[in-house]
Amino acid sequence: MDVPSEDYDVSVMIKAVNEVQAVLTSRQFATFSEVDTEIAKTLKRYEAFGDGFERFHVNLTKDALQSNDLQKSLKDMNKRCEERLRDCECSQKDQINDILPFIRNTSTILVHGSGNLLALAVACAIQEHEGVRFYVCEGRPARKGFPSGSGVALLEKVSGTPEGMRLKEKLQKYCTIVPDSGVSSVMNSVDFVVMGANCVTEHGGLVHSTGSLQIAIVAAFRSVPCYVLCETFKFTHIFPLGTEDLKQPEDGAGQVVPLVEFVPPSMITLIFSDQGIMPPSAVADEMFRFHTAPSAPWKQR
pLDDT digits (tens, 9 = 90+) for 142-158: 676 677 788 898 989 99
Longest alpha-carbon distance in the chain: 65
Q: How confident is the model at residue 297 (pLDDT cuts 50, 70, 90)?
A: very low
Clarify whether residues 73 and 102 are in a common domain: no
Distance (Å, whole) CA 250 – CA 298: 32
**Domain membership flag for residue 300:** no
Distance of CA 168 to the CA centre of its chain: 26
Q: 57 with 169, same domain? A: no
- Same domain? 141 vs 280: yes
Count the Cβ atoms, other than its own, within 10 Å of residue 141.
15
Cα separation, 87 vs 40, whole angstroms:
22
* Separation between Cα atoms, residue 223 and residue 47, nearest integer Å: 37
Q: Give the tens place of pLDDT for each residue, 39-53.
A: 999 998 887 777 788
In a domain, 295, yes or no: no
pLDDT of residue 295: 45
Q: Residue 102: which of 206, 282, 221, 228 has the closest Cα? A: 228
Both 136 and 171 in one domain: the answer is: yes
> Is the Cβ–Cβ distance between 202 and 236 less than 8 Å?
yes
Written as one letter, the residue type at 188 is N
Which position has the higher pLDDT, 205 or 62? 205
Strand positions, DSSP E, the chain: 108-112, 133-137, 175-178, 192-195, 199-201, 206-209, 226-229, 235-236, 260-263, 270-273, 276-278
The Cα 157–Cα 120 span in angstroms is 8
Asked if residue 218 and residue 253 are part of one domain, the reply reads: yes
Pair 152, 223 in one domain: yes
State phi, psi for 226 to the nearest 5 degrees.
-120, 115
Question: What's the whole-model pTM score?
Answer: 0.85
By residue range, what is the domain housing residue 242?
95-289
Q: Does 62 fall in a domain?
A: yes
The whole-number average pLDDT for the span 201-213 is: 92
**Residue 4, domain member (yes or no):** no
Same domain, 25 and 147: no
Q: Name the domain count of the chain.
A: 2
Region of residue 222 (phi > 0: left; psi between -120 and 50: alpha; otherwise: beta)? alpha
Q: Do 37 and 174 have their domain in common?
A: no
Q: Pick from 90, 106, 141: which residue ends a domain?
A: 90
Pick the closest to residue 26 from 101, 280, 18, 234 (CA basis): 18
User: Of 60, 90, 120, which closes a domain?
Assistant: 90
Does 5 reside within a domain?
no
Distances (CA, A) of 18 to 9, 84, 134, 258, 297: 15, 10, 36, 34, 23
207 shares its domain with 62:
no
Indicate if the pLDDT at residue 221 is higher than 60: yes
301 has a pLDDT exceeding 70: no
Beta pairing class for 270-273 and 276-278? antiparallel
Say if residue 2's pLDDT is above 70: no
Decide the pairing of beta strands 199-201 and 235-236: parallel
